[in-house]
C-alpha cells in the first residue's frame, strides 16, 4: 500500500505498508523535481500457483508519481491447478498524476494468471498506464503454452466507466491464431492516457507517427474526449517496446 501526498511543492511517499516479496523503493527525484519515482520490486522471482500480489496506490491531491516495475512479472506453472493473482487498485484524487509502466507479464508453460486492475480517478487527474502481455518464454520456444490468462482492467472517471478491458486467453481452448483474434501476433501492448490534456492532442497526428511493419500493428482511439487508448499487436518484443516508449515520451 502506497500513499503519496504533495507537501511544499514536493510529492512525498507519506505511507508505505509492504510485505515480502513485494517491496517499494524510497521516493527518488530524477529530472523532474516535483515528481516522485518509486521502483516496485518483487523479491521472490515470480508468482507461484496460488500466490496473490496486491498493490494499493493512493495519490492525494496534486501528487505527481511515476511507478516503475523493476523486472518482468513471471508467472510459474500451476501444478496445483490454482491461479496466480495480481490485484491493483489505484485512486487518484483531484489534480493528481500517475505514470505506471510495468515490464511484461510472462506466463510460463501451464501457468494460470488472474489479474485485476481498478483505477478510480477524478476528472482533473491524469493517468498514463502501460501494459505488455507476453505469450510466454519466446526465446525457449514456449509461446502460448500457458493454461489460462485472465485480466480485467477498468478506468472509472468519477461515475463514468471510461474503459472496461477484459481478456481471457486460453490457448488450448481457443483458436488464437484465427482471423479476428491474435492472428500472427505474440505480444499485446496497451497504453492508456486519461487527462484533461487530451482535449488539445491531435489523435490523427499520433496515429500518423505509428510505425507499422510485419512485426507490429498499432492503432489509437479517443475515449469520450477524456482519454486515449493505444493498442499494439506485435511479433517482436523489442520493436513493441520501442514504439510504446516513443508514444510514452510524447505524452510525458
What residues make contact with other proteins under the rule CB under 8 A? 154-155, 159-169, 174, 178-183, 185, 188, 204, 207, 217, 219-224, 229, 231, 233
Strands 52-59 and 73-75, how do they pair?
unpaired
In the complex, minimum distance from the CB of residue 160 to other proteins, in angstroms, rounded to a whole number = 7
- CA-CA distance, 252 to 250, in Å (whole number)? 6
In the complex, minimum distance from the CB of residue 31 to other proteins, in angstroms, rounded to a whole number = 32
Q: Quick one: 27 or 119, whose CB is closer to other proteins?
A: 119
Sign of torsion, CA 146 51 70 210? Answer: positive
Q: Quick one: 69 or 154, whose CB is closer to other proteins?
A: 154
Q: Quick one: 13 or 234, whose CB is closer to other proteins?
A: 234
In the complex, minimum distance from the CB of residue 168 to other proteins, in angstroms, rounded to a whole number = 4
- Asked if 107 and 146 touch (Cβ cutoff 8 Å), the reply is yes
In the complex, minimum distance from the CB of residue 105 to other proteins, in angstroms, rounded to a whole number = 16
Show the cell assigned to 34: 516535483
Q: Quick one: 57 or 163, whose CB is closer to other proteins?
A: 163
Strands 10-16 and 2-7, how do they pair?
antiparallel
Q: Quick one: 5 or 190, whose CB is closer to other proteins?
A: 190
Of 212, 248, 252, 249, whose CA–CA distance to 232 is shortest? 212
Label residue 224 exposed, middle or buried (CB < 10 Å: 0-12, 13-18, 19+): exposed
What phi and psi, each to the nearest 5 degrees, are found at residue 238?
Answer: -70, -40
Q: 219 Cβ partners below 8 Å, 6+ apart? A: 207, 210, 230, 231
Query: Distance between the two ends of the chain, CA-based, in angstroms?
Result: 25
In the complex, minimum distance from the CB of residue 13 to other proteins, in angstroms, rounded to a whole number = 31
Q: Quick one: 2 or 163, whose CB is closer to other proteins?
A: 163
Q: Quick one: 31 or 205, whose CB is closer to other proteins?
A: 205
In the complex, minimum distance from the CB of residue 163 to other proteins, in angstroms, rounded to a whole number = 5
In the complex, minimum distance from the CB of residue 195 to other proteins, in angstroms, rounded to a whole number = 17
Amino acid at each position: 500500500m502506497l500513499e503519496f501526498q504533495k507537501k511544499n511543492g514536493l510529492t512525498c511517499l507519506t505511507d508505505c505498508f509492504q510485505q515480502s516479496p513485494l517491496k517499494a523503493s524510497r521516493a527518488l527525484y530524477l529530472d523532474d523535481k516535483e515528481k516522485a519515482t518509486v521502483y516496485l520490486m518483487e523479491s521472490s522471482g515470480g508468482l507461484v500457483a496460488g500466490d496473490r500480489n496486491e498493490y494499493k496506490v493512493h495519490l492525494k491531491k496534486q501528487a505527481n508519481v511515476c511507478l516503475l516495475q523493476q523486472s518482468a512479472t513471471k508467472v510459474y506453472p500451476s501444478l496445483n491447478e490454482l491461479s496466480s493473482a495480481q490485484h491493483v487498485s489505484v485512486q487518484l484524487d483531484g489534480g493528481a498524476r500517475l505514470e505506471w509502466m510495468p515490464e511484461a507479464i510472462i506466463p510460463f508453460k501451464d501457468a494460470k494468471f488472474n489479474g485485476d486492475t481498478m483505477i478510480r480517478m477524478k476528472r482533473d487527474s491524469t493517468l498514463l498506464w502501460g501494459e505488455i502481455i507476453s505469450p510466454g518464454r519466446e526465446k525457449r520456444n514456449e509461446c502460448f503454452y500457458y493454461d489460462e490468462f485472465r485480466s480485467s482492467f477498468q478506468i472509472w472517471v468519477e461515475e463514468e466507466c471510461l474503459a472496461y478491458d477484459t481478456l481471457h486467453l486460453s490457448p488450448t481452448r481457443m483458436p488464437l491464431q484465427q482471423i479476428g483474434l491474435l492472428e500472427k501476433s505474440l505480444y499485446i501492448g496497451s497504453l492508456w492516457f486519461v487527462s484533461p490534456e487530451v482535449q488539445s492532442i491531435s489523435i490523427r497526428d499520433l496515429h500518423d507517427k505509428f510505425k507499422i511493419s510485419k512485426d507490429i500493428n498499432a492503432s489509437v482511439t479517443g475515449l469520450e474526449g477524456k482519454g486515449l487508448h493505444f493498442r499494439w499487436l506485435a511479433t517482436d518484443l523489442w520493436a513493441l517496446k520501442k514504439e510504446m516508449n516513443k508514444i510514452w515520451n510524447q505524452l510525458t
